[in-house]
Structure 1
Amino acid sequence: MIVITFLDDSSITIEEDTVLNGYKNDSDDPKESYYLRQVYSNSIDGSEGDEASRLATVDGKIGVMGFILSVDCFSIGRNTESNILYRSSAVKSVENTNFSFG
């Protein structure tokens, strides 16, 4: 599993089948509503997408940290309407903890 630790020392755990959703700010037009555009949704094992998971790297923390660095914010889980949005810049560290790609 992978542990994401935030600046306030809270953390979340990511398993191979945990869905990560990535969002980017899409509010460039000052006359339009503020909006986030979903740019990614899949799990490390790729069970949520139609193509291979971009998160599945040889070292799990590398794929997850690359994902975090490429989005403005992210959420965890399939339900994208009632989950928490995390600001990517609030992440302090990503580490492997007994993680293997089996």
Structure 2
Amino acid sequence: MRSPHDIIRKPLVTEKSMSDMSEGKYTFVVDKSANKTEIKNALEKIFGVKVEKVNTMNMKGKLKRMGANVGRRASWKKAIVTLAADSKGIEFFEGM
């Protein structure tokens, strides 16, 4: 079994993700091979919160050019996690 820290890569801090925090939704970059159940269990273990719902989406890497050379940034997976109503927020995000 993988470590929860291998599944949850980092939090995603954007204007939209910060406004979603008021609704109890938190956004993370996760491992591409992780499924919703693994993401839920990892977050509950790391932060000690009750997860109600997990929405995931695969983000395709953008095309980038350097002169005539064309490349692509790496693709990644995003998870938007909704906490249960009785659960407190994730303290990692509190000061933002």
After TM superposition, is the score higher than 0.5?
A: no
Per chain length, whose mean CA-contact separation is higher, i.e. which structure has more relative contact order (CA < 8 Å, sep 6+)? 1
| Structure of greater Rg | 2
Relative to its length, the structure with more helix (as a share) is: 2
TM-score by length of 1: 0.29
TM-score by length of 2: 0.30
